[in-house]
A and B are shown apart, each in its own frame.
Chain A
Amino acid sequence: MTSAALRSRAWKLLEMVTTPLLPSDYLDLVSPLRAGADLRGRIEAVHPETGDAATIVIRPGRGWRGHTAGQYVRIGVDVDGVRLWRAYSITSPTNRQDGRVTITVKAIPDGKVSNHLVRRAKPGTLIQLDQPTGDFVLPRAKPAKVLYLTAGSGITPVMGMLRDVELDDVVMVHCAPRPQDVIFRSELHDLVADKKLRLTEMHTDTDGMLDIARLDELVPDWAERETWACGPAGLLDTAEDHWTEHGVPERLHTERFRPSIVVTGDGGEVTFSATGKTVDAAGTTPLLDIGEEAGVLMPSGCRMGICFGCITPLKAGAVRDLRTGEITEAEPGVLIQTCVSAAAGPCDIER
């Protein structure tokens, strides 16, 4: 018998020993970061960067496959007991000796996860991790001239790149409200002092928003540069228009942080994506009834919110709990009780 076959036999036996649990349920108690476990990380330190931003140092589990500079990682953090997933750019270089990685988070107003990470996260806490992903990365062949165009926390993926690869000719235009809001400011200034970076720092509180037309004056050769831009949607939209107008759209690489914003309302168009039906729903009718009326096969039980026999994945949009008025927004893995939930704006139910 091959060793792989032997191992799988041993594993089967172990499963019999631990049934109905799995051996991993026990192993997780002692070694949550081991190879073969669901990917997790442990927060090892939290370093404040600015008044509302902090760098989180994470020791990833053994299954971590490593990242490319500029990529982001989705992390699952328990906030007030509820697991929430968000994506953050990795700010550490790929060759960090101690195997840890960092993300740098800016607390956004009402941001549950970002505020938690910046202000409350404690070393020692376990978090869930996905493998890093994203194609906002440098090409293998080093580009001769580079422009980084960033605003606010849009600097984070670019910082990952700056720290990772040294390029010959790099210009950066970075916008932040005030000097003290510039994340990594002293490190950037060190790079400038070492002549590794040319930096234009714009403070929008005093200088106003960046007028893309001024780019000619700030970076005269911008059109010849391979450009990586990251920041609020407004900035990226104008940049895309600008690069297209000048016939060099292929030189611009952008990264958008919050791709979709859920619109909540009262009632809305409900899509039953597994069945392929779309119907209009009132804000007061349970989705279970809406689905049944539309001829969708809906599981159900008590029809009053107590049995959990009707729970169904919410793929997109938002729903309102008819008992408490609470809004639930779609996220991967979010299930809703269709008998006590109504559409709060357009939504997509996996039935």
Chain B
Amino acid sequence: MTAIDPTAHLTAEQIEELGRELDAIRDEVIASRGEKDAAYIRKVISAQRKLELASRGVLLFSIFPPAWLLGTAGLSVAKIMDNMEIGHNVLHGQWDWMRDPKIHSTAWEWDHVSPADQWKHSHNELHHTYTNVIGKDNDLGYGIMRVDEDQKWHPLHLGQPLWNFLNACFFEYGIAAYDLELGKNLHKRRRKNPEFRARAKAVGRKIRKQVLKDYVIHPLLSGPSFVPTLAATFTANLVRNIWSHSVIMCGHFPEGVQVFERRSIKGETRGQWYLRQMMGSANISGSRAMHFMTGNLSHQIEHHLFPDLPSNRYAEVAVKVRALFEKYELEYVTGPLPKQVFSAWRKVVRLSLPNRSPKVKTPAREQELVAA
């Protein structure tokens, strides 16, 4: 929706050809999926469980500062692994091909207050289908932020850096509310909808269990270390939340990432859909450890092109995808984490202020944006 369409130089045939080339990359990975990949996810799951167990064990003695530090660090990492490399990816069905009922999108539950099935709906279905389409993809600004110059400014937007910060701290609750479409459903009429109530109840149950575990049971088990353990789990949740919020902001928010209008996806071809994913996502560059800790969402572009490919294969896919970007003269938005986080935050701050006037004026679109 920027003034200059960065894909304008591509012909319709080129876009379809691009789609075929991407399909070929996908087929190659599918055909070579095997034992090594299965061993990878099993190893990660087992490592996560051992780390969590060990950290919780150490936190039983969190009254001693070194134990507190070690336990908190370990638990933070364990929670990040659970949410990012394991939960997010298993729930995408990336490992369903193994036919292991224990590592399957239909059975997985994660250390998060949003129940897996609700998250799958809002994330896998809505966000991944309507990536960056304003008004359809609520991941864009989570419905609480202004994400594009063309959106009408409202004084409430002045607060968006603050909302964004609070959202980062309590990200898992933000996600749960967002999966529930709380904003939309709190209207009197919708509140009573039995389907909504059932979903809200499920979230309530999940929150209760999670809170009980982190803030009651484990501190109680720690006896004299009750308060330090409570502080430790709170810290670990905070760290996990801020981390995942940062990573996810980097996925679609940095400068250079395109957003799309609702009309533009009518009758979209496979090639056009791929192109939208390419232009609507951004990567994070860095070491293997960095990719791992982001759940390979540092390969956001590749993930959006192929959300169901095993995450451990995105790195090799990225090389081929990047070559296609070059071939078709498109901008591959990527950069180190601090740069991308800064870029995303700068945009949040900039858009909290009114800009002069939308760069392109089309009344119809403006109406649509306001409605969104």
Interface residues in chain A, defined as those with a beta carbon under 8 Å from any beta carbon in chain B: 13, 16-17, 19-21, 25-26, 29, 78, 80-84, 301-302, 304-309, 311, 323-324, 326, 333-335
Contacts and interface: CB of A to CB of B under 8 A. Distances in A.
11 contacts: A16-B209, A78-B100, A81-B33, A83-B98, A302-B125, A304-B129, A307-B129, A308-B308, A309-B125, A311-B105, A333-B101
Contacts of A333: 99, 101
Secondary structure class of chain B's binding surface, majority of residues = helix
A307 B120 CA distance: 8
A19 B217 CA distance: 11
B31 to A, nearest CB: 8
A308 B209 contact: no
Contacts, number: 101
B216 to A, nearest CB: 9
Nearest to B304: A306
The CB with the most chain B CB atoms within 10 A, among A305, A307, A309, A311, is that of: A307
Q: Would you list the 4 A-B pairs with minimal beta carbon distance, nearest first?
A: A81-B38, A301-B125, A308-B93, A307-B124
B30 A301 contact: no
A138 to B, nearest CB: 35
B343 to A, nearest CB: 27
Given A82-B98, A307-B129, A335-B96, A20 B124 contact: no
A311 B213 contact: no
Q: Report the interface size class on chain B.
A: 35 or more
Contacts of B109: 20-21
B192 interface: no
Interface stretch (B46-54, B152-160, B246-254, B332-340): B46-54
B35 interface: yes
A80 B96 CA distance: 14
B234 interface: no
B96 A311 contact: yes
A82 B213 contact: no
A307 B99 contact: no
A25 B107 CA distance: 13
Contacts of A13: 217
B124 A324 contact: no
Interface in B120-143: 120-121, 124-125, 128-129
Contact of B49 (A25, A305, A323, A334): A25
